[in-house]
Amino acid sequence: MAHSPFSPGVTAGRLDADAYQDNFADLHPALDPHEALVAADRCYFCHDAPCITACPTDIDIPLFIRQIATGTPDAAAKTILTQNIMGGMCARVCPTETLCEEACVREVAEGKPVLIGQLQRYATDHLQAQDAHPFARAAATGKMVAVVGAGPAGLSCAHRLAMLGHEVTVYDARPKPGGLNEYGIAAYKTPGGFAQAEVEWLLKIDGISIEYGSALGADISLDGLKAQFDAVFLGMGLGGVNALAIDGGDKDGVLDAVDFISDLRQARDVGALPVGRDVVVIGGGMTAVDAAVQSKLLGALNVTLAYRRGRDRMNASVFEQDLAASKGVRIMTHVAPVALHGDGSVREIEFEYMNDDMSGTGQTVRIPADQVLRAIGQTLEGDGLPALEGGKIAVTATGQTSVDGVWAGGDCAAGGDDLTVTAVAEGRDAAMDIHARLTA
Amino acid sequence: MADLTSTFVGITSPNPFWLASAPPTDKEYNVRRAFEAGWGGVVWKTLGEAGPPVVNVNGPRYGAVYGADRRLLGLNNIELITDRDLYTNLEEIKRVKADYPDRAMIVSIMVPCEEEAWKAILPLVEDTGADGIELNFGCPHGMSERGMGAAVGQVPEYIEMVTRWCKQYYSKPVIVKLTPNITDIRKPAAAAKAGGADAVSLINTINSITSVNLDSMSPEPSIDGMGSHGGYCGPAVKPIAMSMVSEIARDPETSGIAISGIGGITTWRDAAEFITLGCGNVQVCTAAMTYGFKVVQEMISGLSEWMDEKGHTSIDDFRGAAVPNVTDWQYLNLNYVAKALINQDLCISCGRCYAACEDTSHQAISMSDDRVFEVIDDECVACNLCVNVCPVEDCITMEAMTPGTIDPRTEKVVEPDYANWTTHPNNPAATTAAE
């Protein structure tokens, strides 16, 4: 170990190998069969259950939990996957504490919800551990659909369309499928190559081909796809990142949190990833927390998550905030960056304290920073897209865009809350609408 | 602190909690541990005739039914009477009784329905110094195929005959243990009384198959791919036992005979309930087999605390207190009208009451868009199903309507007077003309 957390600057190898392994292990280890039965027994099988309502994909949670409790985890998995083909990933990354588990009546009754997310993982893992796919394709329709983006929205859409008998071609700019599941989610939430394994499993439905290295606007065009296919679904996510428009915002040591996370996810050896001694992450969403926590896990000595409003306004859930705090991340609120200082490389970041109404207080504070990660929002990139709304593609409830024959969903579409589970729901619903159109 | 001392057919024990004749009381080691743990008495596991002991199966003897979280609700067994030598048992009984003179020591016996068999064993038991005997006329499996156990308990004439022999050849109290595998429990109880029994104890176990293995198609517990019915016990049988106890307690022909209550007694509350239905004491087995002998400590402290709270100073203060309130359906007050009431502060909005009422009962609970569940008094027949399925204790209660008010379901005034089916105008056999 050439370096330690105390080594100044941005450097790799701050920890020993065992520490890296421990730090990036499963955040929530899988339930074993006994734990799953104990957890499942707590479900009350509510009528018109609030957890179902809270789930963006409307998974029949009481039913799948009862199926686990009665010893049929594969039947439980089918219940889940029928509604949400990426139920395995969602079980790992969903902010269940603000969705199904927040709505659980046992949260109301005892402050301890049924472990819905972990039970979902138990069921889907059980089924996916077998080398079989539970869904079969309908008779071929002869229709062809293009899907742009092999992330949660695109793959969900593609799977449903393939299941309904259509031929699907998925185009993705990256060399691997999965989108944010593969490139954008904290490593400790989906270790063991799960994102790729899930895609491989999903593709067993057959009828889906993926073209990698095909970016919309560069390698393929919307007009071209429209001409070639019977329908087009856009699910390419948000490719751009908001810039940090402050003095010194271009100094060395400043990078996008999404790139930092992507590099980490793709790294074979996280110990080879450089990280600062004093890391400052700017932002208040899930990406900011993922970047901050992982900086700490890579061995940064001090990690500060700086957000311009109060904690109650952060997009990151309370669970995520608490996770960050438990890993030693300091959360600074009511601070907006005004300048980066340093000779070539950043050495300090200067903030102004902000009032609740976002007006500056005039008071400033400088803290050490040899690495600054920007997590202040992503933007939709591209020309010739359907009409936008608030910077994203405007869609109807079933994903139709302003262009006839073109649907959109996931982060690139307006509405929703930029969650994996929402993207899956939007892809699925758009597929059903496309199917209705193509078979009308 | 309330005095839990129990005197049952003249046998005194420091508390009314006896261990029933079963595996926990099969030998000296266990019984000494039970007494050390605080049990008031034991009924030693059933002794058979002298000679080669019975042989048990060498595979699983027990099967179970579970509730949530694998809580054991029902247990069945195919174990026979003691498979240890008669004289070994007798020596142990004598030793333990000598060392624990304040505890009740009852010896359970099952020998063939022949006078000579009873005449032979009773003096041996008498010699142990035990306080009394219990006649095992209840075991429903194995021994019954050999003309003993439930095979005797199902024929009142045999019960009376054997009981008479016992009273003739044994000087101390005779308790007759009854099988529930019979249509009318009062008949064997009356036979025992006629034969001179000092008490009956009930219930023994109920014929049962707890599960079927869907791979091997064998009933469980499975012995090499085959199963036979066992005897069912544990919390699940308590309601059956209490009903049978109450029948004996309130029937003129059997009332007055001492009753030792058995059947799913797991907590002090269960014990108290059996006692209010006329039992002089209770016997426990499954609770001890599930949790160990220590459970008696909760039974002792709980019963004592409740007695203090109610001002009872002895078991006799409340023994049989509920018997006058056990009646036939035809005497229930049809003018009593109640309505379910949901406490919105306690409600956790699970909607189970709604599902139960809407799908299977009277459509008397409404559900709003924001999951507020309320009782529709116009429809509520007070069936109690919502109370039973609600996961939160006391969240839903049954509230009696005040006489003089109008029941919105029937639009009739709630009458203050008692009136039952025997006088109801809809009853073709009404004994009194309706107004």
Is there a contact between B40 and B14 (Cβ–Cβ < 8 Å)? yes
Per-residue model confidence (pLDDT) at position A418? 85
DSSP B412-433: EE--SS---GGG-TT-TT-SS-
Length of chain A (residues): 440
DSSP B346-396: T-----HHHHHHHHHS---EEE-TT--EEE-TTT-----HHHHH-SSTTTE
State which H helix or E strand residue B235 sits in: none
Residue B432 pLDDT grade (very low, low, confident, very high; cuts 50, 70, 90): low
Question: Which of A34, A45, A46, A106 would best serve as a mutation to test chain B binding (most B beta carbons within 10 A)?
Answer: A46
Determine the Cα–Cα distance for residues A426 and A432; give it in Å rounded to an integer: 10
Half-sphere exposure of B364 (CA within 13 A, CB side): 21
CA angle A389, A392, A395 (to 5 degrees): 65
Which residues in chain B have Cβ-Cβ distances shorter than 8 Å to A108? Answer: 348-349
Residue-wise pLDDT tens digits, B240-292: 999 999 999 999 999 999 999 999 999 999 999 999 999 999 999 999 999 99
Compute, in degrees rounded to 10, the torsion defined by CA atoms A17, A21, A22, A23: 100
List C-alpha distances in Å: B408 to B292, B339, B416: 52, 10, 16
Which residues in chain A have Cβ-Cβ distances shorter than 8 Å to B367? Answer: 47-48
Amino acid sitting at position A51: C
Pairing of the two strands B258-262 and B199-202: parallel
**φ and ψ at residue B273, rounded to 5 degrees:** -65, -45
Amino acid sitting at position A175: P
Q: Residue B2, SS3?
A: coil
Asked if the model's pLDDT at residue B407 lies above 60, the reply is: yes
What's the gap between Cα A210 and its chain centre? Answer: 21
B351 closest CB neighbour out of A41, A46, A106: A46
B351 touches chain A (CB under 8 A): yes
CB contact under 8 A, B367 and A50: no
Question: Which of B350, B372, B385, B390 would best serve as a mutation to test chain A binding (most A beta carbons within 10 A)?
Answer: B350
B392 closest CB neighbour out of A41, A47, A109: A109
Determine the Cα–Cα distance for residues A12 and A264; give it in Å rounded to an integer: 12
Determine the Cα–Cα distance for residues B403 and B411; give it in Å rounded to an integer: 13
Per-residue model confidence (pLDDT) at position A196? 96
Q: Residue B96, SS3?
A: helix
What mean pLDDT comes out for the span B185-202?
A: 98
The 8-class DSSP code of residue B178 comes to P
E strands along A213-271, which residues? 231-234, 240-241, 254-256
Which residues in chain B have Cβ-Cβ distances shorter than 8 Å to A41? Answer: 68-70
As a whole number of Å, the CA-based R_g of chain B is 25
Asked if the model's pLDDT at residue A426 lies above 70, the reply is: yes
The tokens describing B381, both together, are 């027949």
B366 touches chain A (CB under 8 A): no
Pairing of the two strands B62-66 and B365-367: unpaired
Residue-wise pLDDT tens digits, A169-184: 999 999 999 999 999 9
Per-residue model confidence (pLDDT) at position A1? 56
Per-residue model confidence (pLDDT) at position A28? 87
Is there a contact between B243 and B161 (Cβ–Cβ < 8 Å)? no
B349 closest CB neighbour out of A41, A45, A105: A105
B355 touches chain A (CB under 8 A): yes
Per-residue model confidence (pLDDT) at position A247? 87
What mean pLDDT comes out for the span A365-369?
A: 97
What mean pLDDT comes out for the span B103-120?
A: 96
What chain A residue is nearest to B355 in terms of C-alpha separation? Answer: A47
Largest CA distance in chain A: 67
**φ and ψ at residue A197, rounded to 5 degrees:** -60, -40
CA angle A332, A187, A330 (to 5 degrees): 15
Residue B434 pLDDT grade (very low, low, confident, very high; cuts 50, 70, 90): very low
CA angle A189, A192, A195 (to 5 degrees): 70
Asked if the model's pLDDT at residue A2 lies above 80, the reply is: no
B187 touches chain A (CB under 8 A): no
Active-site residue (options: B113, B139, B166, B285) = B139
Residue-wise pLDDT tens digits, A84-112: 999 999 999 999 999 999 999 999 999 99
CB contact under 8 A, A105 and B68: no
Residue with tokens 């809350």: A417
Determine the Cα–Cα distance for residues A138 and B148; give it in Å rounded to an integer: 65
B414 touches chain A (CB under 8 A): no
What chain B residue is nearest to A47 in terms of C-alpha separation? Answer: B351
CA distance A121 to chain B (A): 20
What chain A residue is nearest to B392 in terms of C-alpha separation? Answer: A109
Asked if the model's pLDDT at residue A224 lies above 50, the reply is: yes
What chain B residue is nearest to A51 in terms of C-alpha separation? Answer: B350
Per-residue model confidence (pLDDT) at position A58? 97
Pairing of the two strands B72-77 and B62-66: antiparallel
Residue-wise pLDDT tens digits, A327-348: 999 999 999 999 999 999 999 9
CA distance B300 to chain A (A): 30
CA distance A394 to chain B (A): 29
Determine the Cα–Cα distance for residues B37 and B296; give it in Å rounded to an integer: 7
ipTM exceeds 0.95: no
What chain B residue is nearest to A35 in terms of C-alpha separation? Answer: B69
Residue-wise pLDDT tens digits, B213-224: 999 999 999 999
Residue-wise pLDDT tens digits, B24-44: 999 999 999 999 999 999 999
What mean pLDDT comes out for the span A266-288?
A: 94
Question: Is B139 noted as a catalytic residue in this protein?
Answer: yes
Mean of per-residue pLDDT scores for chain B: 96
Determine the Cα–Cα distance for residues A363 and A354; give it in Å rounded to an integer: 8
Please state the pTM of the whole predicted model: 0.91
What's the gap between Cα A32 and its chain centre? Answer: 25
Which residues in chain A have Cβ-Cβ distances shorter than 8 Å to B348? Answer: 105-106, 108-109
Determine the Cα–Cα distance for residues B201 and A199; give it in Å rounded to an integer: 66
Asked if the model's pLDDT at residue A383 lies above 50, the reply is: yes
Chain pair A-B, CB pairs under 8 angstroms: 36
